[in-house]
Amino acid sequence: MNADKHTEQFVLQMQDIGKVYYGTRVLGGVNLQLKPGEIHAVLGENGAGKSTLMNILFGMSVIHNTGGFEGQVLINGKPVEIKSPVEAMHHGIGMVHQEFMLIPGYTITENIKLNREITNPSFLSRIAGKKLETLDMETMNKDARAALDKLGMNVEEWVRVAGLPVGFMQFVEIARELDKENLKVLVFDEPTAVLTENEAQKLLASMRKIASEGIAILFITHRLDEVKQVADRITILRDGQHVITKNIEDTDVFEMANLMVGREIDLSSRDFETNDDRKVLMSIKDLYVDMPGEVVKGIDLDIYDGEILGIGGLAGQGKIGLANGIMGLHKAEGNVQLDGTPVKLNDPFASLRRGLAFVSEDRRGIGLLLDTSIEMNIAITAMQIQRQFVKQYGPLSQKETDRIREHALKMIQELDIRCTGPEQITRRLSGGNQQKVCIARALTLNPKVLFVSEPTRGIDVGAKKLVLDTLVQLNKEYGMTIIMTSSELAELRMISHRIAIVNEGRLEGILAPDDSDVDFGLMMAGEYHKTKGREVIADGPN
């Protein structure tokens, strides 16, 4: 009986939650308990399992189409099966998404009431059915006004969403959830990411007001100062595991940062030697990149000849935009110099001709010709840019099939690409071997600088090690300068000489791989300078 009473005090419980995707465990033994009126922050770096946990809570199809999950979800102490977002809504669970789900051409009222419209019977509807009922705009406007007033918004409910400031759009998203009946739990997914400081403070105040009315809030964020301001408790996930749940008064930003990223790092694969005579191979000054979701807002960075430089940071903070901007795939402004000579921006071919090569984070979208052979994937860029593997007969040209085959066989052997032969279609390779084909194509250009973005995304653990070992080998044996962007901080710390952390489109700082977990966590959360009041620039490997 005491156990039952204990259970009933929680509006939401997720007990011993586990999830396996295609043989890879992404969650295991995760427990989350939420009380009515509580603001509970869920923390963790990219890949910690936060999104998967929320997908389970909302019954997303990606969970149920891949074998379901382990454990159980309880609402008010009773087990429930949530197999769709609609069922989640019926159980009183709402979500304010990081990306807006509004229709610009609709009014605020129409967006708030979308799919829950209030209608009045008409003469025609009595004959032909409910579809011909008319909208009860007066009642809908009144409901929308009540939801907006709860948030202290003074905008008129009949205004169209198009043209509203970003902060107003975020509050309209929240108002839509507050208008729903039977709301018990409201999930905020990085709600302040697009807001100004003043707007963020207003949102945090609104969260406190919502919680005071008995609605429980799950607050997913990386901004540790905001967690300290509003959260009652925190739960930290790391590598899909439940690390700890604590009352907010029993912790601080230093401990939270440490718990988010803390893990043993094997540095044995790198030989960290100090070299005071390093040459700056590439210099980046005041770089801006307009890449949707990964905007860069003025980065200065020097890359040394022969180093592996890691670029880290949380999702959407601009780390991926750096390489994409320099390689000309997204609009960029600023000054980039290679060996003291400017690199022309916004021109992919110019970047390739200057000796830059790029292994994209989107290997299946832009990195590979999936329905083409391995050997042609490896050779194609060198044929186009450097006229390798091509014989010229006056105005006519012909590809050198034998040389392409010979080179492909060499790359397959050196990179250990597991395939039936160079003529195999690339689509039929595993993810790790597809990634190696991308690396082989980049190496065929014999680049001065190799940019590699998210090299281990979507591949299994064994393949990850092979890809990382390949990058270390290229650096050690050939002295190749490598700039590796990754959401996997542990991987960056394993193979990089230095790691630059990007936050909100700017360089937060540069650390050595064996610097403290606390410093990494604070930098990734954008809290380092606020809490320590000093700048750490790791001037190279320790």
539: number of Cβ within 10 Å: 12
Structural domain of 378:
368-425+439-446
User: For residues 536 and 13, which has the higher predicted lDDT (pLDDT)?
Assistant: 13
143: in domain: no
140: in domain: no
pLDDT 10s digits, 487-523:
888 889 989 999 999 999 999 999 999 898 899 989 9
Supply angle C-alpha 495, 496, 501, rounded to 5. 130
Phi/psi-derived region of residue 302, left when phi > 0, alpha when psi is between -120 and 50, beta in every other case: beta
The H or E element containing residue 378 is helix 374-386
Q: Answer for the pair 175, 116: CB distance below 8 angstroms, yes or no.
A: no
Choosing from 199, 223, 251, the residue where a domain stops is 251
504: in domain: yes
Query: Do residues 80 and 193 share a domain?
Result: yes
Query: Do residues 75 and 195 share a domain?
Result: yes
Query: Do residues 333 and 413 share a domain?
Result: no
Q: Answer for the pair 147, 113: CB distance below 8 angstroms, yes or no.
A: no
Query: Do residues 534 and 452 share a domain?
Result: yes
pLDDT 10s digits, 48-97:
888 889 999 999 998 989 999 999 999 999 999 999 988 998 999 998 87
Domain of 337, CATH number, reads 3.40.50.300
Q: Distance between CA atoms of 14 and 21, rounded to whole angstroms? A: 19
Choosing from 226, 251, 276, the residue where a domain stops is 251
Query: Do residues 203 and 321 share a domain?
Result: no
Structure tokens at 16: 């011993």
Query: Do residues 351 and 379 share a domain?
Result: no
pTM: 0.64
- Dihedral of the CA atoms 240, 246, 247, 248 (nearest 10)? -60
pLDDT 10s digits, 121-172:
877 777 777 777 788 889 999 999 998 988 888 888 889 988 787 778 888 9
161: in domain: no
Query: Do residues 393 and 518 share a domain?
Result: no
The H or E element containing residue 501 is strand 498-503
172: in domain: no
Q: What is the pLDDT of residue 534?
A: 45
Q: What are phi and psi of 329, to 5 degrees?
A: -85, -20
Query: Do residues 220 and 72 share a domain?
Result: yes
Query: Do residues 457 and 417 share a domain?
Result: no
pLDDT score of 4 more than 70: no
526: in domain: yes
pLDDT 10s digits, 235-251:
999 888 999 999 999 99
Sign of the torsion angle spanned by Cα atoms 277, 282, 285, 291: negative
Structure tokens at 366: 């832009």
pLDDT score of 293 more than 50: yes
- Close Cβ partners of 401 (under 8 Å, ≥ 6 residues apart): none
499: in domain: yes
Query: Do residues 380 and 491 share a domain?
Result: no
Structure tokens at 437: 């084909």
Q: Answer for the pair 295, 250: CB distance below 8 angstroms, yes or no.
A: no
pLDDT score of 274 more than 50: no
Closest to 338 measured CA to CA, from 348, 328, 326: 326
510: in domain: yes
Query: Do residues 11 and 86 share a domain?
Result: yes
**Average pLDDT of the residues of the chain:** 86
Choosing from 251, 281, 308, the residue where a domain stops is 251
Classify 102 as helix, strand or coil.
coil
Closest to 18 measured CA to CA, from 72, 74, 82, 78: 72
| Total number of domains constituting the chain | 3
Query: Do residues 453 and 344 share a domain?
Result: yes
pLDDT 10s digits, 108-133:
999 998 888 888 887 777 777 777 77
